[in-house]
Structure 1
Amino acid sequence: MNVDMLIEENNRKRELLTPENEKYYDDMLIYIRLQWRLSEQQSEEVLMEILDHLLQGQEEGKTAKDMFGHNPKAFADEIIEQLPNEKKREIIPFYARIIGNIVSWSLIIRGILHLILSQFIEVNSEINLFQMAMSFLAITCFVSFSIWFILRLVHNSLFKENRNIKLLTIKAGFVGAAGMAVVLLVAKFTPEIGPSYNLPWQVSLIAGAILWLILFVEKKR
C-alpha cells in the first residue's frame, strides 16, 4: 500500500482502540510523523504494524502500556532510530509543493479581493515586481515559521497527562496574528523599485486556480 492508503487504513483501525490505548498510540503516531527526515512510507508501515499488534493484544485484554511499556516516548525513539531517512529527491518536491501552494493561494486571494473591492472602489491592478517579491518572501517566512511553531507546540505537548489545549490555542493564535501583521506591514511600507505590470483580477484568479489544480493533480498521482 502507498502512504495515502496506509494513512486511511490507520485512521479506520484506530477507531477500534479503547480510549486509553488510543491516547497512548496517538501520541506515539504524531511523535513519529513529526520526524520529517524519516521515510514517510516506512514510518507509516511501522505504525500500521504497531497498530495491528496493539489491536491483537487489546482483544486479549492487554493495554498499550502492558505491551509497549510505560514510556511511549522511549519506545518511539527506539523505532525512530531504526527507520531510514527520506531520500533527498522526495524531500525537494515536498518543499516545492509548499511554495507552489503559497503562490497559488496568494494569487487566488488577490483575485478575489480585487473582484470584491472593484465593486465599490477603483482598484489599481498594477503590481510592482520588487514589492511582490518582498511580500512573497514575507508570506513564505510567516507560513514556514507558523508551521514550525505549531508543530513545536504539538511536539512539546505529547506524552503529557494534562494538556492545556486552551493555552496552546492562544499561543498559536498570537503567533498567527503577529505574523500576519508583519506581512501587512511589509506589503504597506515596501517601496516600489523597478518595473510594474498590469495584472487584472481575472488573470490573477485563473492563474492561481490553474497552479493549485496542477499541484492537486500531481499530489494525487
Structure 2
Amino acid sequence: MDAKLLIEENNKKRKLLTKENEAYYDDLLVYIRLHFSLSEQQSEEVLMEMLDHLIEGQKEGKTAKDIFGDDPLSYTDEIIELLPKEKKRNIIPFVGGIVVNIISWLLIIRGIILVSFSQFTEVNTDINLFGTTVVALAIGIFIIINIWFMLKLTKSSLFNEKRSLKKNMLKVGLFAAASMAVVLVIAKFTPDIGPSFTFNWWVSIILGAILWLFHFIVKKRKS
C-alpha cells in the first residue's frame, strides 16, 4: 500500500481510538510527519503499525501510555533514528506551493485595488524591476522564516499537556506581523533603480488567476 492510501486508512482507523489515546497518538503522528527528511512511505508504514498496535491494546483496556510509555518524545526519537532518510521529500513543493498561492492572491488583489481606485483618481501602474525584485525576495524570505517558525512552534508544543492553542496562534500572529512590517519597510525605502514597465490591472488579475489555477490543479492531483 502506497503512502497516500496509508494516510487515508490511518485517518479512518484513528476514529476508533478513545479521546485520550487519539490525543497521544496524534502527537506521535505529527511529530514524525514534521520530519520532512524521512522516507514518507516508511514513515506511514510505521505510523500504521503503531496505530494497529494501539487499537489492539485498547481492546484489552490498555492506554497509549501503557503501550508506548510515559516519555513519548524519547520513544518517537528512537523510531525516527531507525527510519531511512529521503532528501527534501516535501519541503520544497510545500514551500513552493505556498509561495505561488500567495503571489497569485497578491496579483489579484493588486489588480482589484488598481481598477477600484482608478474610478476615483489617477493610479500609477508602473513597476520598477529592481524594487519589485527586492520586495519579492523579501516576501519569499518572510514566507520561509514564518513556515520555519510555525513548524518549530508546533514541534515544541507536542507532548505537552499544558500547551495552549490560543497562545501559539498569538505567537505566530505577532511573528508574522513583525515580519510583514520589515517587508513593508524594505518596500518603502528600496529605491527605484533601473528600468520600469507598465503592469496594467487586467494583466495583474489574469496572471494571478492563472497562477492560482495552476496551484489548484497541482494540489488536486496530489490529494
TM-score, normalised via structure 2 length = 0.88
Residue 15 of structure 1 aligns to a residue in which SS?
A: helix
Residue 10 of structure 2 aligns to a residue in which SS?
A: helix
Alignment of 1:126 onto 2:126 = yes
CA-CA distance at 1:171 after TM superposition? 1.3
Q: Deviations over 1:154-194 (max 9, x none)?
A: 11111112113332222111111111111122222211111
CA contact (8 A) 1:131 1:187 kept: yes
What is the identity, as a one-letter code, of the residue corresponding to 1:198?
Answer: T
C-alpha change, 1:166 and 1:63, in structure 2 (3 Å) is: same
The 1-side partners of 2:111 and 2:88 are apart by 35
The 2-side partners of 1:4 and 1:116 are apart by 44
TM-score, normalised via structure 1 length = 0.89
C-alpha change, 1:209 and 1:44, in structure 2 (3 Å) is: farther
Matches within 5 A, 1:119-198: 119-198=119-198
CA-CA distance at 1:23 after TM superposition? 1.3
What is the identity, as a one-letter code, of the residue corresponding to 1:127?
Answer: I
The 2-side partners of 1:3 and 1:140 are apart by 30
What is the identity, as a one-letter code, of the residue corresponding to 2:34?
Answer: L
The CA RMSD measured in Å over matched residues stands at: 2.2
CA contact (8 A) 1:102 1:140 kept: no
C-alpha change, 1:24 and 1:172, in structure 2 (3 Å) is: same
CA-CA distance at 1:104 after TM superposition? 2.6
C-alpha change, 1:186 and 1:78, in structure 2 (3 Å) is: same
Alignment of 1:48 onto 2:48 = yes
CA contact (8 A) 2:103 2:208 kept: yes
CA-CA distance at 1:130 after TM superposition? 0.9
The 1-side partners of 2:176 and 2:97 are apart by 21
C-alpha change, 1:117 and 1:2, in structure 2 (3 Å) is: farther
Structure 1: gaps of 5 or more residues: none
Residue 17 of structure 2 aligns to a residue in which SS?
A: coil
What is the identity, as a one-letter code, of the residue corresponding to 2:11?
Answer: N
